[in-house]
Structure 1
Amino acid sequence: MAKIKILDILINKVDMVAAIEEVENLIQSDSSQHLVVTPNSEMVVMAQEDKVLKRIINEADLVVPDGVGLVLASKLMGEPLIERVTGIDLMVGLLELAAKRGYGVYFLGAKPGIIPQVKKRILAKYPELKIIGTHHGYLDDKSEKQVIEEINYLNPELLFVGMGVPLQEKWLDKNLDRLKVPISIGVGGSFDVLAGEKKRAPIWIQKLNLEWLYRLIQEPQRIYRILALPKFVYLVITREVLG
Structure 2
Amino acid sequence: MEKRIRFLEANLDRYSFHETITQIENYIALKKPVHHTGVNADKINLMKTNPRFKKIINEAALVNPDGMSIVLAAQICKQPKLERVAGIDIMIRLLEVAATKGYRVYFLGTSEPILNKMISRIRTDYPTLLIAGYHHGFFSEPDEVKIVKNIQKSKADILFIALPSPQKEYFVDLHMSEMNVPVSIGVGGSFDVIAEEIKRAPKWMQT
Q: Same fold by TM (over 0.5)?
A: yes
Aligned: 1:22 with 2:23? yes
2:106–2:160 CA contact under 8 A, matched in 1: yes
1:166 deviation in Å? 1.4
2:55 corresponding residue in structure 1: 55
Q: Deviations over 1:144-188 (max 9, x none)?
A: 111111111110000011111111111111111211100001112
Cα distance between partner residues in 2 of 1:102 and 1:155: 12
What's the secondary structure of 1:38's corresponding residue?
Answer: strand
Cα distance between partner residues in 2 of 1:110 and 1:5: 32
1:163 corresponding residue in structure 2: 163
Aligned: 1:84 with 2:84? yes
1:120 deviation in Å? 1.4
Higher strand share: 2
1:77 deviation in Å? 2.7
Cα distance between partner residues in 2 of 1:188 and 1:167: 11
Cα distance between partner residues in 2 of 1:124 and 1:201: 24
TM-score by structure 2 length? 0.95
Matches within 5 A, 1:103-142: 103-142=103-142
Q: Deviations over 1:82-108 (max 9, x none)?
A: 421011111111111111110000001
Amino acid at match of 1:196: E
Q: Deviations over 1:115-149 (max 9, x none)?
A: 11111112222211111201001121221111111
Cα distance between partner residues in 2 of 1:199 and 1:15: 24
Cα distance between partner residues in 2 of 1:107 and 1:86: 18
Superposed CA RMSD: 1.3
Identity, % of aligned positions: 38
Q: Deviations over 1:64-91 (max 9, x none)?
A: 0100011112212322334210111111
Amino acid at match of 1:21: T
What's the secondary structure of 2:91's corresponding residue?
Answer: helix
Cα distance between partner residues in 1 of 2:110 and 2:205: 26
Amino acid at match of 1:177: S
Q: Deviations over 1:34-68 (max 9, x none)?
A: 00011111111110111111100110000001000
Higher helix share: 1
What's the secondary structure of 2:188's corresponding residue?
Answer: coil
Gaps of 5+ in 1: 210-243
1:25 deviation in Å? 0.5
2:74 corresponding residue in structure 1: 74
Matches within 5 A, 1:1-243: 2-29=3-30, 31-206=31-206, 209=207
Which sits farther off after the overlay, 159-168 or 137-146?
Answer: 137-146
1:164–1:187 CA contact under 8 A, matched in 2: no
Amino acid at match of 1:172: V
What's the secondary structure of 2:112's corresponding residue?
Answer: coil
Cα distance between partner residues in 1 of 2:176 and 2:88: 21
Gaps of 5+ in 2: none
Cα distance between partner residues in 2 of 1:99 and 1:92: 11
Report how many residues are paired: 206
TM-score by structure 1 length? 0.81
Q: Greater CA radius of gyration, 1 or 2?
A: 1
1:214 corresponding residue in structure 2: none
